[in-house]
């Protein structure tokens, strides 16, 4: 039952998200769209209540209850980022807003971006750990076997630690942006820029002026 409810909550998350964005930008009902989006946390509350009742009724703690706590933590830590990302694209596609900025790819800006995402993982692990300790102490008690629930706390922080090492690697070894192509060099070592067409200024070096042009200029002077 718990696994089925997790699937229902995941599907419900995307259904409510699509309905909220459609009401906000397609139907031009921003308040209704916000109200629908605010209903999403109720799914996590429903999952938490059902999990607690299941344990209270004597169900043995298992991986299903631990997975439910991790799912709630992940939604708290990263759900708002998903909503914000999709809201920006929906505003651009249907609301005439400018396209949302893309995340940075290089340098310390990329490292800070990865660090912000990692903080979401820290929040997810903290929420999941708090829920697991709450379920273990309040709804199972000292008489029951809570090792399965406490094991999921280790799983949550181990995944957060791995994510933190990956995010830290972007700060230790920042990814460099590709170098811009250099302008072609002239035979005399000067860079030439042909992006605006040939220059109208005559060359100062007589060697750069064709003989035919020089002879034509001399004839014009003789005629004058």
DSSP codes joined into one string, 133-172: HHIIIIIITTTS--HHHHHHHHHHHHHHHHHHHHHHHHHH
Residue 94: CB atoms within 10 Å: 15
Place of tokens 């900025």: 101
Q: How far apart are CA 43 and CA 10, in angstroms?
A: 9
Are the C-beta atoms of residues 65 and 153 closer than 8 Å to each other? Answer: no
Q: How many residues does the structure list for the chain? A: 224
**Predicted pLDDT at 202:** 47
- The per-residue pLDDT for 120 is 95
Q: What pLDDT is attached to residue 60? A: 76
Strand partners, 185: 191
- Spans of the chain below 70 pLDDT: 137, 139-145, 182-224
């Amino acid at each position: 039952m718990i696994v089925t409810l997790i699937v229902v909550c995941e599907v419900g998350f995307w259904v409510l998200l699509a309905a909220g964005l459609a009401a906000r930008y397609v139907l031009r009902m921003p308040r209704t769209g916000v109200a629908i989006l605010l209903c999403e946390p109720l799914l996590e509350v429903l999952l938490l209540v059902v999990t607690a009742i299941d344990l209270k009724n004597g169900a043995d703690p298992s991986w299903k209850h631990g997975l439910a706590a991790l799912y709630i933590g992940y939604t708290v830590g990263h759900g708002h980022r998903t909503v914000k990302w999709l809201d920006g694209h929906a505003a651009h596609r249907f609301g005439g807003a400018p396209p949302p900025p893309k995340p940075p790819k290089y340098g310390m800006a990329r490292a800070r971006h990865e660090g912000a995402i990692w903080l979401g993982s820290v929040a997810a692990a903290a929420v999941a750990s708090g829920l697991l300790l709450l379920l273990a102490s309040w709804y199972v008690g000292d008489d029951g076997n809570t090792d399965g629930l406490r094991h999921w706390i280790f799983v949550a922080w181990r995944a957060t630690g791995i994510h933190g090492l990956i995010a830290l690697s972007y700060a230790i070894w920042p990814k460099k942006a590709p170098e811009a192509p250099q302008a072609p060099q002239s035979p005399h070592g000067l860079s030439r820029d042909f992006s605006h067409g040939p220059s109208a200024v005559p060359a100062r070096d007589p060697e750069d002026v064709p003989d035919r042009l020089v002879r034509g200029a001399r004839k014009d002077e003789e005629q004058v």
